[in-house]
Amino acid sequence: MYRGLIALDADGVLLDFNLAYGRSWEKAFGVKPRLVNPNAYWAVDRWGVPRLTGAALDRLRATFDDEFWTTVPAIDGAIDACHTLCEAGYELVCVSALPSKFEAARLKNLQDLGFPIKRVIATDNDQASVSPKAQVLDVLKPEAFVDDYLPYLKGVHPDIHSALILRDPHGSPNQGADLSLASSQHVNLAQFSAWWVQRRAVGNDSLQAQVQPTT
């Protein structure tokens, strides 16, 4: 029984961009970075590498090619979480802030990993007052939108359930007054999936998500 559409962000929700970033650093500079903080939200903080400018930044960015965007690994539990949602009757679409020229690569990445997702929609990553994903979501009209970056909840229509994935707490932008934009908060997609399906099964829209404390 079809129940509706759920829109999912990719990096930080479905895919482990931070792990892939470490591989790209090694590819660009021939040195494997050392993991210094597994709880860091941003990749540069996780690997303890400098913030680059100029030619060095261009060299790193050159590694973010089709091969990169087709080989980002899945976050633990994310594939099963998506299958749980599909088995409950939901259709999944990925709404991802990346250049549109990599849209097909991202879809191939997800499908090669076994995600039950047939469509990827790329948006820009403009840090404006309104989420660059809001316009796409207005057209899609999903029941829920799941992202791990709080600013991307800005401007999302209130009829859409905006679920925030908190994930890694150190240096996280997911804090402050704007947390009120999130309809619910979850540690990861697996937790959201289990909660959402239970919430719908019992017909209780007031069922509260259980979020573990961050460290």
One DSSP character per residue, 175-186 reads -SGGGGG-SEEE
| Residue-level pLDDT at 27 | 97
Residue ranges of domains in the chain: 4-15+74-201, 17-69
Q: Read off the pLDDT of residues 73-87 as tens digits, 9 standing for 90 and up.
A: 999 999 999 999 999
- At 42-67, the pLDDT tens digits run 999 999 999 999 999 999 999 999 99
Share of the chain above pLDDT 70, in %: 93
User: Which pLDDT value is given to residue 214?
Assistant: 44
Say whether pLDDT at 128 is over 60: yes
Which residues face 186 on adjacent strands? 165
4-15+74-201, what's its fold?
Rossmann fold (3.40.50)
Q: How confident is the model at residue 208 (pLDDT cuts 50, 70, 90)?
A: low
Angle subtended by helix axes 78-87 and 189-201, to nearest 10 = 20
CA distance 212 to 9: 21
Q: What is the pLDDT of residue 181?
A: 96
- State the chain's mean pLDDT as an integer: 93
Query: What does the DSSP assignment read for 150-170?
Result: GGGGTT--TTSEEEEE----B
- pLDDT value, residue 215: 43
β-pair type (4-8, 90-97): parallel
Say what the pTM is. 0.93
